[in-house]
Amino acid sequence: MADYKALYQEVILDHNKKPRNYGTLEHPSHHAEGHNPLCGDHLSVALQLQGETIDQIAFHGESCAICKASASMMTAAVKGKTRADAQALTQEFLAMATGKLDLNQPNQIGRLAVFAGVRDLPTRVKCAILPWHTLQAAFNSQGTASTEA
Amino acid sequence: MNARLPDMTPAARATGFDVERVRADFPILQIEVEGRPLVYLDNAASSQMPQPVMDRLVRYQSTEHANIHRAVYTLSERATTAYEEARRQLQRFINAPDEREVIFTSGTTEAINLVMHGYGRKFIKAGDEIILTTLEHHSNIVPWQMLAEETGAIIRVLPINDAGELCLDEFEPLFNARTKLVGVSHVSNALGSINPIKQMIALAHRHGVPVLVDGAQAVPHLAVDVQDLDCDFYAFSGHKLCGPTGIGVLYGKAELLEKMQPFKGGGDMILSVSFEKTVYNTIPHKFEAGTPPIAAAIGLGAAVDYLSAIGMDSIAQHEHALLQYATGQLGALPGLRLIGTASNKAAVLSFTLDGIHPHDIGTLLNQDGIAVRTGHHCAQPVMTRFKVPATTRASFAFYNRMAEVDALVAGIRSVQKMFA
Q: Are residues B357 and A65, on separate chains, in Cβ contact within 8 Å?
A: yes
pLDDT tens for each residue of B292-309: 999 999 999 999 999 999
Q: Contact A8/B360, CB-based, under 8 Å?
A: yes
The predicted structure's pLDDT at residue B7: 46
Q: Give the C-alpha separation, B110 to B132, whole Å.
A: 18
pLDDT at A146: 65
CB contacts < 8 Å between A and B, how many? Answer: 53
Q: What is the pLDDT of residue B118?
A: 97
Which residue is catalytic, options B167, B231, B242, B378? B378
The helix/strand/coil state of B237 is strand
pLDDT tens digits for B29-39? Answer: 999 998 999 99
* Chain-chain contact of B359 with A66 (C-beta, under 8 angstroms): yes
Query: What would the mean pLDDT of B411-419 be, rounded to a whole number?
Result: 95
Mark whether B378 is an active-site residue. yes
How confident is the model over B226-253, as a mean pLDDT?
98
Through-space distance between the first and last CA atoms of chain A, rounded to whole angstroms: 31
CB atoms B389 and A8 under 8 Å:
no
| Chain centre distance of CA B91 | 16
Would you call A66 and B419 a contact, using CB atoms and an 8 Å cutoff? no
Quote the pLDDT of residue A37. Answer: 77
Q: Which of A2, A13, A127 sits opposite B359 (nearest CB)?
A: A127
Q: How confident is the model at residue A144 (pLDDT cuts 50, 70, 90)?
A: low
Q: Would you state the torsion angle of the CA atoms of residues B1, B2, B7, B9, taken in this order, to the nearest 10 degrees? A: 100
Contacts of B206 (CB under 8 A, 6+ apart): none
Quick check: B330 and B412 in contact, CB under 8 A? yes
User: What does the pLDDT read at residue B13?
Assistant: 58
Mean pLDDT value across chain B: 95
* Burial of B155 (C-beta count, 10 Å sphere; 0-12/13-18/19+): middle
> How much is the ipTM here?
0.85
Tell me, rounded to whole angstroms, the distance of Cα B348 from its chain centroid. 13
| φ and ψ at residue B247, rounded to 5 degrees | -140, 140
Q: Which amino acid is at A1?
A: M
Whether the per-residue pLDDT at B42 is higher than 70: the answer is yes
Minimum-distance CB partner of B366 among A4, A16, A17:
A4
pLDDT band at A58 (very low <50, low <70, confident <90, very high): very high
Q: List, as ranges, residues 31-60 from A with C-beta within 8 Å of B.
A: 38-41
Residue B348 binned pLDDT confidence (cut-offs 50, 70, 90): very high
CA B56 remoteness from chain centre: 22
Q: What is the pLDDT of residue A3?
A: 64
Q: What is the pLDDT of residues B135-171, one digit of tens each?
A: 999 999 999 999 999 999 999 999 999 999 999 999 9
Encode A101-119: b = buried (16+ Cβ within 10 Å), e = exposed. beeeeebebeebebbbbbb
B208: amino acid identity, one letter: G
Q: How confident is the model at residue A122 (pLDDT cuts 50, 70, 90)?
A: confident
Q: Which of A3, A63, A121 sits opposite B357 (nearest CB)?
A: A63
Residue type (1 letter), B342: A
B357·A2 Cβ contact <8 A: no
For residue B350, is pLDDT > 90?
A: yes
Span B95-132, pLDDT tens digits: 999 999 999 999 999 999 999 999 999 999 999 999 99
CA dist list (Å): A104 to A3, A101, B330, B381: 21, 9, 45, 47
CB A68, CB A50: distance < 8 Å: no
Does B142 reach chain A within 8 Å, measured CB to CB? no
Question: B37 at the A interface (CB within 8 A)?
Answer: no
What is the SS3 assignment for A77? helix
Out of A88-92, B223-227, B269-273, B345-349, pick the least confident: B269-273
Helix (H, G, I), strand (E, B) or coil at A47: strand
C-alpha R_g of chain A: 14
**B276 phi and psi, to 5 degrees?**
-90, -40
Segment B317-339 mean pLDDT: 98
